[in-house]
Structure 1
Amino acid sequence: MVQRETWATRTGFILAAVGSAVGLGNIWRFPFVTGEGGGAAFLLVYLLFVALVGFPAILAEFAVGRKTERNPVGALKEYGGNAWKYVGGIFIVTGFVILSYYSVVAGWFIRYFLEGFTDSYAGHLAGYEDAAAEAGEPETVMMFLDFATGLEAFVFHTIFMALTVGIVALGIRRGIETAVKLMVPAIIVLLIAIAVWAATLPAAGEAYSYYLSPDFGVVAANWTEILPAAAGQAFFTLSLGMGVMITYASYLGEDRNLAEDATLIIGFDTGIAFLTGLVVFPMIFAAGADPGTEGAGAIFFSLTEAFATIPGGRWLGLLFFGTVAIAALSSAISLLEVVTSYVIDEKGVDRWKAALGMGGVIYLLGAPVTYDMIFLDLLDLFADAILLVFGALMLAILVGWIAPQVAVNELEKGLGDLDGLGQAWIWAIRVPIILVLVVSLYLGVVEYVDFLTGPFAEWVDGNT
């Protein structure tokens, strides 16, 4: 078996774990899931789920990863027995599928960033006035549809995957650790700078009220929608159920305090998500847009309109889209590392060959998304609503009920006077987390079946 690397520093491990969630879960997804959930009401429930569900779940992945020092397939095989390697395979497939379409979405951010150099966003939107009038859609929608599919979308998908493969091929220390030490601090500094600027917008007060003042009546009236959405976002934003945290923890070369590391990672990640809301919502309100807008292009619709209308919008747009592009790269390298580590560990392939080979296959899987966004929905729903949740549920069952003491012993290394935490943690895994995941999986399967028999079936009929 190929000799495995380890993190050079604890900081590198923590920043890599934080970086894995920043682009994928926070900047692109969090503000608009929050908008759809009613603003502050959703934020409150989400924060509760991060603390009560996310913390125990991330410790489960850390314990399994560090104990086995393997990728998700090898880790679950060693931890639970040969049959569990197939469950580990679900983590590999999940990361594989998510990165295939995420690379295309990241390409959109790069495209919007580069467009800011050639003209103002107002100038770009003016070029879509005739097409918008003919289609009966806003200029922002027509611009997004033009950018989202076609040859240029394919080219930017290619560029982004090439960057991701290059970093992962360099290895843990020279590639991933070096990259995240530069990217994650840069993301935080840029977001703080934009948040300070957004606070000066005339609509900032209204936006902050929407985002920070919860209406408990909204929670009471919509709890059946808010609770599963908040639980799903808590899991999604922490990169749980994708094999990322198992893989990253497998490179820990010493018995660190996993609870302390998990607290730092969750704190940074949640703080960045919260900060993103302070950036995005004032700009949405300044543009007069609906914070509950749905769809993959929602952030592009609202913020392009904002950057086209507010003073200094061109430069803010460059800064924002550039920040998100960096954040997207930090997420992408974590997903490719999950797949790459599997090939290195289980097949004995050299790192650069594994990264290039797996990156190439993922790149081809994502190509149809550049043809039609129906494939984005097809892949995203399958990964997010079914694969991710099912894999996480199986891990919770393994750790909580089948081999709990092994996980408790691994967690309690380095805890010192807090070694009693292990038993309380295992019961959190056994009951509330499993219940949340069972409900989420049921809702996800129902949603995916509805999509296959509805929008996707209609698309197939219209294209055959």
Structure 2
Amino acid sequence: MARETWATRFGFILAAVGSAVGLGNIWRFPFITGQEGGSAFLLVYLLFIALIGFPAILVEFVIGRRTERNPVGALRDLGSGIWQYVGWLFVITGFVILAYYSVVAGWFLRYMLIGITDGYAAGAADPEAAELLFGSVSTGLDSLLFHAIFMAFVIAIVAAGIRSGIEVAVKVMVPAIIVLLLGLAAYGFTLDASTEAYAYYLSPDFGVIAENWTSILPAAAGQAFFTLSLGMGVMITYASYLGEDRNLAEDAGIIAGLDTLIAVIVGFVVFPFLFAAGLSPGDGGAGEIFVSLTAAFTEIPAGRVIGIVFFAMVGIAALSSAISILEVVTSYLVDEWNLKRVPAAAGLGVAIFLLGVPVTVDLIFLDLLDLFADGVLLVLGALLLAIFVGWVIPEVARDELEQGIGDLGGLGTAWIWAVRVPIVVVVFVSLYLGVLDYIGFLTEDFAGWLAEQ
């Protein structure tokens, strides 16, 4: 079976940006930023993207393009011993993330329809009403139904293939996301509370960083890997459809830059809305963007229309990311088992849907999966790839990076050493802190929930 390739470089970049620009940017980024101190978190996050995220994208790119395989096949072809099994970690990570990702994406679709049919005033007349509205959307039959609808869209696009499905879809979705986001940010600028919001978002308090670095560092690491689609095999898979003439460093820079820019713009949208409504960021956890913004849309001019546009935009962004995650696991069955793309995507999509069903029953399962995937699996995957490229196949990796670029001289060696030492050390510390956080969640929050059942 002939392996598909991207039709254009533009299509590849948009697909990679679309993968990166999703719920990680628009749902997760605002509430994590609020929980971790606003501008203090933003500064650490931006440093993490520049110093760790960009070199880490190149790690996945060189593995994918070198092997032209899915993560399992790529690590098996390049590695030996235990390394040939590392690719399975990315398949597992993709399963876990998409299972709850689809549920959350369904919430955005439901909120968009609420804006169209009823408006947001009834559900946001007071904080308690907004909480009740979110509870009715986030769990129960509504949540299950929209989880199924969203997964059906994801399956249909991935089943259509690389050129006819994913590349066509992202060429429409990613520009639409950017246009809508810029329009919302411009609107946020006109609100009276925008000055206060920008100060919270853009004026870092270094004392907060020094005091809370043990929570900010793993949060920034997990958010960086989540939003750049690293540690889950997406960039390995997408790079496997590339040709040798592509400049990987240039493409990685464009992808990381656009993704980070969009994440930053999201702050210029969400925080002015929250401050305009007199709401405090960071208090509502995973449901904050729903509870707080629903209330905010009742307080600002043209709030109903703005709300519909916002939730529609996030739904589009979520879809662009979800198709990349399903493609990772689908490519495994297509490459390794020679299955047809349609039954492979459909079968895996149904299995992922079933794994996400508990999240529609109780949000404790969202925390259970998200903290595990974000704080442990993603960071572990990135750490193992950094060790593999930096210490096991450094010459192979450098040779592959130079394809399409030319002789890098000392830059190639500098990249290898950046992967070998600072990236490995920082990611290891982040993983250690993330594991401690997850153990704390299991022994306190989850154990408490079990005791109440």
Same structural fold, with TM-score higher than 0.5 when normalized by the shorter chain: yes
Shift of 1:82: 5.4
Q: Which residue of 2 aligns with 1:132?
A: none
* Alignment map for 1:29-428 (pairs within 5 Å): 29-81=28-80, 83-126=82-125, 138-416=128-406, 418-428=408-418
Identity of aligned residues (%): 68
Letter of the 1:338 counterpart: V
Shift of 1:24: 2.8
Q: How many angstroms apart in 2 are the aligned matches of 1:447 and 1:207? A: 29
Gaps of 5+ in 1: 130-136
Q: TM-score w.r.t. structure 1 length? A: 0.95
Kindly indicate whether the alpha-carbon contact (under 8 Å) linking 2:70 and 2:332 is maintained by their aligned counterparts in 1.
yes
CA deviation string 1:343-370 (max 9, x = no partner): 1111110000110010010011101111
Q: Which residue of 2 aligns with 1:25?
A: 24
Q: TM-score w.r.t. structure 2 length? A: 0.97
Shift of 1:375: 1.2
Q: What secondary structure, in the 3-state scheme, does the structure 2 residue paired with 1:416 have?
A: coil
Query: Which has the larger displacement, 258-267 or 116-125?
Result: 116-125
Q: How many angstroms apart in 1 are the aligned matches of 2:449 and 2:281? A: 28
Kindly indicate whether the alpha-carbon contact (under 8 Å) linking 1:412 and 1:421 is maintained by their aligned counterparts in 2.
no
Letter of the 1:334 counterpart: S
Q: Which residue of 1 aligns with 2:446?
A: 456
Query: Which has the larger displacement, 355-364 or 79-88?
Result: 79-88
Q: What secondary structure, in the 3-state scheme, does the structure 1 residue paired with 2:86 have?
A: helix
CA deviation string 1:269-297 (max 9, x = no partner): 01100111111110010111111224210
Kindly indicate whether the alpha-carbon contact (under 8 Å) linking 1:77 and 1:83 is maintained by their aligned counterparts in 2.
no
Kindly indicate whether the alpha-carbon contact (under 8 Å) linking 2:62 and 2:397 is maintained by their aligned counterparts in 1.
yes
Q: How many angstroms apart in 1 are the aligned matches of 2:25 and 2:37? A: 17
Q: How many angstroms apart in 1 are the aligned matches of 2:76 and 2:407? A: 32
Q: What secondary structure, in the 3-state scheme, does the structure 1 residue paired with 2:121 have?
A: helix
Gaps of 5+ in 2: none
Q: Which residue of 2 aligns with 1:134?
A: none
Q: What secondary structure, in the 3-state scheme, does the structure 1 residue paired with 2:208 have?
A: helix
Kindly indicate whether the alpha-carbon contact (under 8 Å) linking 2:191 and 2:272 is maintained by their aligned counterparts in 1.
yes
Shift of 1:217: 3.0
Kindly indicate whether the alpha-carbon contact (under 8 Å) linking 2:90 and 2:231 is maintained by their aligned counterparts in 1.
yes
Letter of the 1:109 counterpart: F
Q: How many angstroms apart in 1 are the aligned matches of 2:431 and 2:38? A: 24
Q: How many angstroms apart in 1 are the aligned matches of 2:275 and 2:124? A: 19
Number of residues paired by the alignment?
453
Given the alignment of the two structures, is residue 14 of structure 1 paired with residue 4 of structure 2, yes or no? no
Kindly indicate whether the alpha-carbon contact (under 8 Å) linking 2:123 and 2:129 is maintained by their aligned counterparts in 1.
no
Q: Which residue of 2 aligns with 1:4?
A: 3
